[in-house]
């Protein structure tokens, strides 16, 4: 676990992600990912795993994807950009981060040609393709070998209900209990990747319990609301002023900070916490590279 002493969490987070803008740094970390088996027990077999032979090309792709993601993310957070259009910028930024992780994991000759997702019911529902193809499937398989999410369909309400960072806003917006473990003694967003079993309350699909990975449900939510905002802007504006819009605005605010942090954790294979060290405590540490 890396404790990064800062009072400017967003700025310092992107400083660390920006380490990958340099191809030399990207090569070092990609080689480390390969040496550590990509920090997974096993990789799915849909695509061949990246090998040392492909590190140079992968580093170039990672570096360019990171540059694009950073510009899109900063644009989404700039003055004058509100929830009216912010989901569109955040989703494309998330796509660029997803591409960076894919290039650092799989030996893939090109970008995925589709999202691997379908928008349904006037952009209020997302369907995950059963084949696991497309960008989302490749992204998911960079951190999970669980294929139960393929072929499933999710409403915006369901996706918001499992977000551990906005459960008070979800309860107020929808008047129903969020789909998380409310009996947990403590919920720490910085520890979500390591405590999914404690925090998550899985949905049931086809008689099977289906937990949603923290990156999965955030990416899917961004897909839904970015399509909603882009293709039905009038309805989107009305939605933002309705009770569910309260939870969605909270999602945008929290995801702006959380999604890139989760990306960094997965890419580096470590847990990064950005906060004043006086609040965190702990001995000096050096990152593994």
Percentage of the chain surpassing pLDDT 70? Answer: 94
Residue 69, pLDDT score: 98
Reading the block at residue 259, the tokens are 């999604």
The predicted-structure confidence for 50-71, as pLDDT tens digits, reads as follows 999 999 999 999 999 999 999 9
Residue 28, pLDDT score: 96
Residue 235, pLDDT score: 96
Residue 126, pLDDT score: 94
Secondary structure element (H or E) that encloses residue 118, with its range: strand 117-120
Residue 280 has pLDDT above 70, yes or no: no
Residue 214, pLDDT score: 94
Residue 56, pLDDT score: 96
Assign 281 a pLDDT band (cuts: 50, 70, 90): low
More confident site: 156 or 184: 156
More confident site: 205 or 285: 205
Assign 263 a pLDDT band (cuts: 50, 70, 90): very high
Say if residues 91 and 76 touch (Cβ distance below 8 Å). Answer: no
Residue 278 vs residues 9, 15, 281: alpha-carbon distances, Å: 14, 21, 6
Mean residue pLDDT across the chain: 90
Residue 38, pLDDT score: 85
Predicted model pTM = 0.93
Residues near 256 by beta carbon (within 8 Å), at least 6 away in sequence: 10, 73, 76, 77, 90
Which of 202, 25, 151 is closest to 100 using CA atoms? 25
Residue 195 has pLDDT above 60, yes or no: yes
Residue 260, pLDDT score: 98
């Amino acid at each position: 676990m890396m404790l990064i002493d800062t009072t400017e969490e967003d700025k310092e987070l992107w400083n660390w992600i920006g380490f990958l803008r340099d191809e030399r740094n990207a090569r070092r970390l990609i080689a480390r990912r390969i040496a550590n088996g990509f920090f997974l027990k096993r990789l799915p077999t849909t695509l061949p795993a990246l090998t040392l032979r492909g590190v140079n090309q992968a580093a170039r792709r990672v570096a360019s994807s990171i540059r694009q993601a950073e510009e899109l993310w900063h644009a989404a957070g700039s003055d004058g950009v509100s929830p009216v259009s912010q989901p569109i910028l955040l989703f494309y930024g998330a796509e660029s981060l997803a591409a960076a992780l894919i290039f650092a994991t799989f030996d893939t000759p090109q970008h995925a040609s589709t999202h691997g997702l379908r928008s349904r019911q006037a952009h209020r529902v997302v369907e995950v393709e059963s084949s696991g193809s497309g960008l989302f499937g490749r992204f998911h398989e960079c951190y999970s070998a669980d294929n139960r999410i393929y072929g499933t369909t999710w409403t915006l309400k369901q996706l918001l209900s499992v977000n551990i960072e906005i459960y008070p806003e979800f309860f107020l917006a929808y008047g129903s209990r969020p789909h998380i473990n409310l009996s947990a003694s403590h919920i720490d967003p910085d520890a979500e990747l390591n405590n999914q079993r404690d925090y998550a309350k899985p949905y049931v699909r086809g008689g099977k319990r289906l937990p949603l990975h923290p990156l999965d449900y955030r990416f899917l939510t961004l897909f839904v609301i970015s399509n909603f905002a882009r293709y039905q802007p009038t309805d989107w504006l009305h939605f933002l002023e309705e009770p569910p819009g309260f939870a969605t605005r909270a999602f945008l605010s929290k995801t702006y900070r959380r999604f890139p942090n989760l990306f960094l954790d997965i890419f580096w294979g470590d847990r990064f916490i950005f906060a004043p060290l006086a609040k965190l405590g702990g001995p000096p540490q050096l990152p593994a590279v």
